[in-house]
Amino acid sequence: MSTSIWDPATPIVLASGNPHKLEEMNALLAGRLRFISLTEAAASRGVKITEPAEPGQTFEANAEIKAVSYARQLGMACLADDSGLEIDALGGRPGVISSHYCTDGQEAGMTRVQRDTANNQRVLAELGDIAPAQRTARFVCVLCLAAMDATGQERAILTVRGTFEGRIGLPGTDGAIPRGTNGFGYDPLFLVGPASTQTSAELSPQAKNRLSHRAAAVEQLVDRLGVRA
């Protein structure tokens, strides 16, 4: 049995403005870690937080940038998630700019729904009629936990990575792609492997919480922190 290095009663700020991620993390870690939102943390500390730039070329780099920045601003432990989609036939794109792929990584004032739709359209257009077997892809989730050390300096405590393998559906061959209402982002395009009969957006929340890239990263996180139920 691993020895705990974290007090489960100590709140951790989930350094993301995405409400879906907060819901997933709370569902995955109920009873093991306590999460609060950036908004709640900022209000409790009476500070106005600034979103850091994310110039990193890897998920790990950007996750650490976010975790350390928010830990510094709030004086609290922060867990940052950097995640996205890697498609082998596109050389790993969209990668670290997955959430803004339609605008080449730039913020353009679109709503989340508009951006998701445009991102999906770009991915399908770039893949074209590439054969199903060549449309392999994976969701990647990197979690970085940062907190204050004994000298009062914020630092990254640990970083973990999880993946979720599958492929991008081919419209016409794989049915109506995109499809499914239980996900967001690229979930409606992503056929869960190896059976490839369902998209990630067609999985129940319970199934997704067992199989997803975020679930895989969380399993590593709880192992490293020693907070298994």
Active site residues: 82
Cα–Cα–Cα angle for 179, 99, 181, nearest 5°? 20
Question: Bridge partners of 37?
Answer: 14
State whether residue 85 is helix, strand or coil.
strand
Are 12 and 37 spatial neighbours (Cβ–Cβ below 8 Å)?
no
Cβ neighbours around 57 below 10 Å, total? 9
Are 172 and 163 spatial neighbours (Cβ–Cβ below 8 Å)?
no
Which of 141, 25, 15 lies closest to 66 in space, CA to CA? 15
Which of 79, 78, 97, 77 lies closest to 87 in space, CA to CA? 97
Measured CA to CA in angstroms, residue 113 lies from 8, 59, 109, 175, 196 at distances of 34, 23, 12, 22, 25
* Helix pair 38-45, 59-74: axis angle to 10 deg: 30
State whether residue 94 is helix, strand or coil.
strand
